[in-house]
Structure 1
Amino acid sequence: MDEQKKVIIVEGTTDKRKIQSIINEPIDIICTNGTVGTTKLDELAELLDYRDVYVLVDADDAGEKLRKQLKREFPRAEHLYIDRSYREVATAPSQHLASVLLGADISVFSTFLRSN
């Protein structure tokens, strides 16, 4: 078991629920609910110190703006990307999200993995 606990940062609660239904390991999922102010960033920085941080936001302008902000604040975070054609994490197919998460060594339920 890793000493460092994993954390995924997403935009909204629908994103959080979608990810929670796919992952098969204990991971904290933090919702930014859009943009993040300085106070929230300071709280996050303290909370996320010494943890494996993943960023999974929508493939739209708001998501990209948030991603840039999080890249500055958390340079060690691993950024996960959904296919731009899906635009939103919440509406992306579960199989697609599972493969993105699996690519980051995050355990997912095998029912979401395609058998090729």
Structure 2
Amino acid sequence: MDGEPDKIIIVEGKTDKQQLEKIITEEVTIICTHGTLGVERFDELLEVYQLDDHDVYIMADEDEAGWKLRKQLQRELPHAEHIYIQKDYKEVATTPEDELAYALLSKNIEVNPIFL
């Protein structure tokens, strides 16, 4: 990656992570929060992944839990960018792959062109 910082995508669950891993072609770290984060868990992620020193993206479901997580992470990581899915799909894991690919591509995350 020629000295560029790694990109980190924060998602809610394991199935979200699996869906993104099928689509993304570049080296990206995907972190699962398994819902909202407690202070200790967030501090651990902050330290382990050095979140303040990387390009961080938040991709959460379009539901109450997802909005709550986005709000929490926005406070803790104001430099993070949000990647949104259409409200109609509600969950990252059930969003069609082409929709996810275009959403990721809009943030300059490399995707397999088969999904475009």
TM-score range, shorter chain: over 0.9
Cα RMSD, aligned residues only: 0.8
1:22 corresponds in structure 2 to 23
Q: 2 CA distance for matches of 1:96 and 1:56?
A: 13
Query: Which amino acid letter does the alignment assign opposite residue 114 of structure 2?
Result: T
**Count of matched residue pairs:** 113
Query: Which amino acid letter does the alignment assign opposite residue 29 of structure 1?
Result: I
Name which of 23, 46, 52 aligns with 1:49: 52
2:68 corresponds in structure 1 to 65
1:10 corresponds in structure 2 to 11
Q: Give the TM-score normalised by the residue count of structure 2.
A: 0.95
Structure 2: where are the runs of 5+ without partners? Answer: none
Q: 1 CA distance for matches of 2:100 and 2:4?
A: 25
Q: Give the TM-score normalised by the residue count of structure 1.
A: 0.95
Q: 1:44 Cα deviation (Å)?
A: 1.9
Q: 2 CA distance for matches of 1:111 and 1:26?
A: 18
Name which of 68, 77, 82 aligns with 1:79: 82
